[in-house]
Each structure stands twice: as structure tokens, then as C-alpha cells.
Structure 1
Amino acid sequence: MPKKLSGGGLSPTQQAAKFLGVSVLAGAVMAGIALPAAGALGLAAKGSVQGFDEIPDNLKSPALSQRTTILDSQGGPIATVYSRDRTVVDLKNISPYMQKAIVAIEDSRFYQHGAVDLKGILRALNQNAQNGGVAQGASTLTQQLVKNYFVEEAGDDPTKVAQATQQTLGRKIRELKYAIQLEEKLGKKKILENYLNITFFGEQAYGVEAAAQRYFSKPAKDLNLQQSALLAGIVQSPSRYDPVNDEAEAIKRRNTVLQRMAEVHDISPQEAEEAKNAKLGLKVSQPKNGCITAVKGASFFCRYVENVFLTDPVFGKTKEDRAKLWNQGGLTIRTTLDPQSQKSVQDSIKSHVNKSDSVATAATLVEPGTGKIVGMGQSRPYGYGKNETEYNYSVDRDMGGSNFGFPTGSTFKPFVAAAALEQG
């Protein structure tokens, strides 16, 4: 190895990866990159060593965006809100079939190589040369995890997402250096756990737990062989292999995963054949996001909770900070809403005022002495269609109401009268 590529205190693994990052990565194919001109390769290689050394040493793992769940006083769910539907789970709560399936199809030598797979690179280089283009990539699961970190950090900003996924030599070298760090810092099991929690499985599902719930309405720990193979196959192209929209293509991809699992001896050929002949067995759960999907009648209370959260500095110094925490924080918010009281509010309203009436009514039950809201409802449902409204008639405008709220009306007269009588 030339002296200028020496490790400078790096471990043998890091030295080898650094050499690979400069010589192979700059002059061949790495994770599906192909640079057409030899002159471009030479130009890209110039200064690559310096660039590798100048990349910051510490990769900060982003806090994964998760769903926030709002509960009533009994612990029952009212609604979920999220920018990305994800529930992070430990590896022990992910089916062993799922773990084996994703490794088999995405990086079958995951437990044999380090951050970079030299055999995989040479295989991809040979395959791409035969095809005259980019037919095969060589990114390890660790490299894919780093790439997903960049995408997660970019959030919903299209410019930042494009930068995080751009097919450039510089990004791949940076990705490689961070992959080396993760291998040494986390180890294989933690890398696999993080990968399964961060990756996108289509249908608005991020992470394997959300995917298992979306496609099969079950937790990730209960996925069987064919279900695991289906989910593992989706990762490469969530739109192309979406089983909800193209069952035939999804089955073909699932069976490819099963075949690969048999080839690497994760399952027997007989198990693979039996699973290939099984139906998809989808039990799709529709995404439920936001207060509009809250349990019957509780949408307005949900919006009230949201407005309290977004206006209270205890949840963040700025409105932007609070909004980010609300949409991405993976919070569990326990509220004062009592299911029985809420039902009584809605039943009473429904028996006296129809949603199509020219007038509307609202009612809120507040516990004396504590101020806890135990029920909140109104005659017009939450929504944007005919005879629906997004305004909460029980509160002022700054909390989601219309104009400056509404007077209490005759309902309040007995309280005024009682107070007057007490005072003589």
C-alpha cells in the first residue's frame, strides 16, 4: 500500500476500507455507481484521500421520526399523529424470519464482512461490465443504514433529500467512512435492528413494525416466513413491489427472497417451496393520521389537545420546535377525556340536534374543582364536507374556535342565579 494511504493510527479494517474507498470506489462501481469516462475517474480520484480524512469523524444517529399516540383517561387510543408512521422496536421483537429474510436479499454476507464487502463490489463490477450499465449494486446493510440516516436527517425537504441520495463519488466515500464507524461502534445486531426500524416499506410505513401492522395487522414479532419474505422484498422498490397495488409483482419478488433464503441455507428448499405456494394473505390496515381519524366524536377534543401542545412553551421554545415534537416525537399523550362522559355528550347532542340543522350545538363537560375536560363534542362532525366543520364551537379562536368563541347563552343562567341567591 502506498505510504500516502497509510492508516495514521487506523485499525487494519479501517486501513483496508480506506484503501478501498480511494482506489476501488474511485475507479470502479460502489453501490450502483458507474462513472462513464476514464478521465472523470482519474479526476475524481485526485484528492480523494484528503477528502476521506477531512470527513468529520462522528456520525450522529438522528432521532427517528415516530408516531405520537393520544390516549383517553382509561388508556384507550383517541388518535395517532405523525409525519412518518413508525414505531421503533427492539430486535427481540422482530421475527427471526424477518431478520433472516432482509439479510438474505439485501446483504447475504452481512455477518462475514465488515463495513464494506469486497466480494460484493467485485461481483457488482463484473455484472455491470457485462451489462454495459448499472445492473447490480454492492452496498452493505451498514452502508444502506448510513444512507437512511442522511435521508431521515433531511426530513421532508426535497432539496436535502436529493442531496442525501445523490449518486456521487463524494457521497459514497462519506457513506463508507461512516459505515466503518458504525461497524465498530454498534456491532452487527444493533446495525440490523436500526436498519429494520429506519427503512421504508411503502404504503406510508417506515420501519418493520409499522409495515407489519400496515400489511398484515400484526406486530413484527409475529411475522411468518412468507410474510417476512414479502416485506423484505419490498425494500428494494416500495412502489414497484407494493402488494396492495400489484399482487403478481409482489408474489414474484417474495418468491425471489424465499429462493435466496434457501440458497444461503436459512431455510430448506422444501420450506421455500411451501412458502412460495402460499397466498399473500394480506390484512391491510388503513393509515390513520391526525385528529380527523380520532375515535367517534373525539376529533374536537384531539384538536384542543393539539392546540394546547403547540402553544405551551413547556413543549418547546418555539412553535416550530413544538410542531416538530408533535409530528415526529413518538410521544404518548395521556389526557383527561373519559370515554363514558364523551359518549354521553355525543348521545345527548345527537338526540336533540341533527348535523344538517341550520343551527349547531356544542357541549363540554368539565370536572368541578379540577378543571379537567372529561367530554367535548358538537352536532356537526369534524371535517371539510357538507354539514361538517373544522371549528371547535366550545373554544375561542386561538384554540381552534370560530371568530372569538360563542356566549354561554341561557345554559349559564342557573349558575348566575345560584351565585346571586348565595350572596343574598
Structure 2
Amino acid sequence: MGNKRSGGGLSPAQQAAKFLGVSVVAGAVLAGIALPAAGALGLAAKGSVEGFDELPANLKTPPLSQRSTILDAEGGKIATVYYRDRTIVPLKDISPYMQKAIVAIEDSRFYEHGAIDLKGILRAVNENAQSGGVSQGASTLTQQYVKNVFVEEAGDDADKVAEATQQTIGRKVRELKFAIQIEEELGKKGILENYLNITFFGQQAYGIEAAAQRYFSKPAKDLNIPESALLAGLVQSPSRYDPVNDEQEAIKRRNTVIQRMAAVRDITPEEAEKAKKAPLGLKISRPSSGCITAVKGAGFFCDYVRRAFLSDPVFGKTAEERQKTWERGGLTIRTTLDPKAQESVQAAIENGVNKDDEVATAVALVEPGTGKITGMGQSRPYGYGKNETEMNLSVNASMGGGAGYQPGST
């Protein structure tokens, strides 16, 4: 038969050497955390990591991007726009089942350890040494939150995202130091609240409120056991466990979370068995953002509002600052659009010109004396399809329009 080797084909001697090497690294990290006054971590001399004491002490958390709402003059919604679909909610507005589910599957000892989980690190070191690779991580919920902050700050910059998620000792050490700070500043409840609001759940949903609305069309406070377990299971891999694209894989992952909740006694065995048998119960709300979703005929006015915001120094000294403010969102933008005036604009347009005619018409109503725009529309709808256009014929090129037209008689 021959001698069988465990650990991916490694001999006992090779396993011991790998385990020793990983243990030395873990020991260095732990020593640096436990005794920061000692200075560098030992590996710093080789350029592997920075000195623990030299790392910044304060984690700067950027405001989380949220959806913004554009309203008409009477407070009616014209459109919802967002860079990332997120609605921040306090912990009291998140189902207790959801809170328990995420802790159970991601960091079941969350309330027992500090910023780092020494038992978890030692367990991961042992498992990884045995497997000959990285089969198990040891990040606490706090460390995951810190990583998510870096990812959020990176935005769409691929290089910064890669830097925020790279698997290096240096990044882990920085993550650990910030985690210690966060634990002291926020406490467990604050960390859990922030984590659930920042995390990506797939299907363009950031944060638990957007995820609850996306998958179940309900607020996060109303999530039940199987729904909470499904969403908690998505965090590890939103694409792999996406219930929209792979129902069976999603059910398996959901039931794993439910079993874990039972194992840590968050729910009873009876509740677990009932929850496992429940259908997914999806009630998908498709993501909708931007001026293409505006109420009938108001897409061009919505686009005008966006461009006016991005060009006005009132909202930021530079174009970059204004763009960041727009993307960060969380805004309620009240405008001058009069619903009745807008209806009259659309009626007049539709009575005169069809959307598929060779010629197009545009109408803008402006209140004399104030300059308030009360209505704006045109015969070809706002959009990207056939007989649709994004060009606003009522404005100049800098605001999304064309080269202009000869004015008619007043």
C-alpha cells in the first residue's frame, strides 16, 4: 500500500516545519498586540510589516454611501438615486434573529473575546498547518468591519480595493490595531450595528436594510429566522450563495447558518428544524436607481437636478468634492417641479408629437420673476432604448443638452 501522507501530501516532517513557521508568524503578531511597547514585530526588519507602534492610532471611517431622494415642490418623490443602495438603520430596527444569525455564523464568540480571538487564531493556525494552505481564517466581526471600512473608502478604485483585501501579514496587523481601537470606541453593539450597515449582501444591496428590501421586500426589523439565516449566509460569498441564481446552494447555506444558530443556543432545535423546512420565500424588489426610474416625464428634470448639483460650488469647492458628496448620498433634494404643471407639459407634448416621430419637441415651464422651473419634458422619453434619449433638449450642452435651437414666437 505504501505510506500515506496527510496534509495535502506533506510528510510529518514537512507538516511540522510548516506548522512551526505559521506558529512563529502568529506568535509575532500576538506579541506585537500584547506588547506594543516592545516596538517592531520582529518581521519588520525584513520589511514584512510596519512597527506596531508606528501604525496610525485612529481609523478614519468615511460616511457610508446611501440613497438620495429627489422630491417635487409638494414633497412627492420624483426619483431615488444612489451610488450604492444602502439605508442606514439603528440596531433596534434590525431583527434580533438577524443579529444572532450574523454573529453565529461569522463570529460566535463575538461577545466573549476582545478585538481579536486568540482561540480562533490558534485554531486557524492549526487547521492551516494541517491542510498545507489557508483553509480557515480567524477574523473577528470587528476585524471584518475594519476591512469593510477600507473597501468602502476605496470605492471603485480597483487598486485600492485590492490593497484593502490583500492577504498579507502587514494588512492583518494594521487591521488588528484598528480593531482594538474600534472595540474601545464603539463597544460590541456599536460594532454590530455598523457591520450590518456596511456589509455587502449581493444583488447591489449594501447594508441589511437594503438587503431585506431586495430579497424579501420588507424592513430589516421584520426578518424571521430563515430569512435572517439566508442573509447572514450571503456575507461569506454573495455570488456563490445568491438565492436568485442558485436556489439549492442558497438553501444549503441558509440551513448551515440555522444549524449554527441552534448549536450556540440562539434558537431551539425545534425552531431550527422548522426553519430548515421553510421555503426561501423570496419576494424580490429589483434595484432601481437613477433618473430612468423617475415618475412619468420627469427624467429630464431629474437629470437637470443632478447636473445642477454637480456644477454648483455651493455643494463643494471642486468638481471632485461635489461628485463625492453626490455618491455618498443620504440627501433629500427638494425641487421646484410642480406636479400639475408637469402633467400639463406631458399632456401638451403627447397631444402634439409622438415619441417615434422623426422630429422631437421639448417644453420647459419657468416661473416669471423667480426663474423656478415648474415643468420640463420632451417627446422622446428619457432612457437608453429605441426612440429614447438622454439628451435634454431644454438645456445647453454643459447641462446635458445639444447645440441649441432657434426659438419660436412667444
Shift of 1:45: 8.2
Separation of aligned partners in 2, 1:26 and 1:65: 37
Shift of 1:22: 8.6
Separation of aligned partners in 2, 1:189 and 1:291: 37
Which residue is equivalent to 2:26? 24
Which residue is equivalent to 1:56? 56
Which residue is equivalent to 1:390? 390
Shift of 1:321: 1.1
Is 1:22–1:48's contact at 8 Å kept on the other side of the alignment?
no
Is 2:49–2:173's contact at 8 Å kept on the other side of the alignment?
no
- Specify whether residues 326 and 22 from structure 1 end up closer, same or farther in structure 2 by C-alpha distance, changes over 3 A only: farther
Q: 1:138-157 counterparts in 2 under 5 A? A: 138-157=138-157
Secondary structure of residue in 1 paired with 2:237: coil
Give deviations 1:362-401, integer Å, cap 9, x for gaps.
Answer: 1122334433222211110112333222111112222221
TM-score (ref. length: structure 2): 0.87
Separation of aligned partners in 2, 1:174 and 1:326: 30
- Specify whether residues 43 and 327 from structure 1 end up closer, same or farther in structure 2 by C-alpha distance, changes over 3 A only: closer
Which residue is equivalent to 2:365? 365
- Specify whether residues 244 and 60 from structure 1 end up closer, same or farther in structure 2 by C-alpha distance, changes over 3 A only: same
How many residues get paired? 379
Which residue is equivalent to 2:20? none
Separation of aligned partners in 2, 1:348 and 1:303: 21
Is 1:298–1:376's contact at 8 Å kept on the other side of the alignment?
yes
Which residue is equivalent to 1:4? none
Is 2:55–2:174's contact at 8 Å kept on the other side of the alignment?
yes
- The share of aligned pairs that are identical, in percent, is 76
- Specify whether residues 344 and 63 from structure 1 end up closer, same or farther in structure 2 by C-alpha distance, changes over 3 A only: same
Separation of aligned partners in 1, 2:50 and 2:157: 30
Q: 1:67-86 counterparts in 2 under 5 A? A: 67-86=67-86
Structure 1 regions of 5+ residues with no counterpart? 1-20, 29-40, 413-424
Shift of 1:90: 0.9
2:327 aligned with 1:333: no
Secondary structure of residue in 1 paired with 2:63: coil
Separation of aligned partners in 1, 2:359 and 2:399: 22
Which residue is equivalent to 2:343? 343
Is 2:145–2:191's contact at 8 Å kept on the other side of the alignment?
yes
Shift of 1:49: 8.9
Which residue is equivalent to 1:319? 319
- Specify whether residues 397 and 42 from structure 1 end up closer, same or farther in structure 2 by C-alpha distance, changes over 3 A only: closer
Shift of 1:338: 2.2
Which residue is equivalent to 1:168? 168
- Specify whether residues 49 and 351 from structure 1 end up closer, same or farther in structure 2 by C-alpha distance, changes over 3 A only: closer
Give deviations 1:326-355, integer Å, cap 9, x for gaps.
Answer: 122321111121223222221221122101
Is 2:49–2:170's contact at 8 Å kept on the other side of the alignment?
no
Is 2:48–2:169's contact at 8 Å kept on the other side of the alignment?
no
Which residue is equivalent to 1:18? none
Secondary structure of residue in 1 paired with 2:112: coil
RMSD of aligned Cα (Å): 2.2
- Specify whether residues 228 and 45 from structure 1 end up closer, same or farther in structure 2 by C-alpha distance, changes over 3 A only: farther
- Specify whether residues 25 and 164 from structure 1 end up closer, same or farther in structure 2 by C-alpha distance, changes over 3 A only: farther
Secondary structure of residue in 1 paired with 2:51: helix
Which residue is equivalent to 2:405? 406
Which residue is equivalent to 2:274? 274
Question: Which amino acid is 2:407 matched to?
Answer: T
Is 1:201–1:235's contact at 8 Å kept on the other side of the alignment?
yes
Question: Which amino acid is 2:200 matched to?
Answer: F
Q: 1:14-413 counterparts in 2 under 5 A? A: 24=26, 26=28, 43=43, 51-403=51-403, 405-410=404-409, 412=410
Is 2:50–2:170's contact at 8 Å kept on the other side of the alignment?
no
Question: Which amino acid is 1:406 matched to?
Answer: Y
Secondary structure of residue in 1 paired with 2:193: helix
Separation of aligned partners in 2, 1:311 and 1:359: 30
Separation of aligned partners in 1, 2:29 and 2:177: 17
Question: Which amino acid is 1:70 matched to?
Answer: I
- Specify whether residues 78 and 130 from structure 1 end up closer, same or farther in structure 2 by C-alpha distance, changes over 3 A only: same
Separation of aligned partners in 1, 2:307 and 2:101: 43
Secondary structure of residue in 1 paired with 2:69: strand
Shift of 1:24: 2.3
Separation of aligned partners in 1, 2:248 and 2:75: 41
Secondary structure of residue in 2 paired with 1:187: helix
Separation of aligned partners in 1, 2:49 and 2:345: 69
Is 1:25–1:169's contact at 8 Å kept on the other side of the alignment?
no
Shift of 1:26: 4.1
Give deviations 1:128-187, integer Å, cap 9, x for gaps.
Answer: 233332221110000001111111111110011111111000110111111011111110
Secondary structure of residue in 2 paired with 1:376: strand
Give deviations 1:35-92, integer Å, cap 9, x for gaps.
Answer: xxxxxx9856868897111101111111112222211222222222222111111111
Shift of 1:25: 5.5
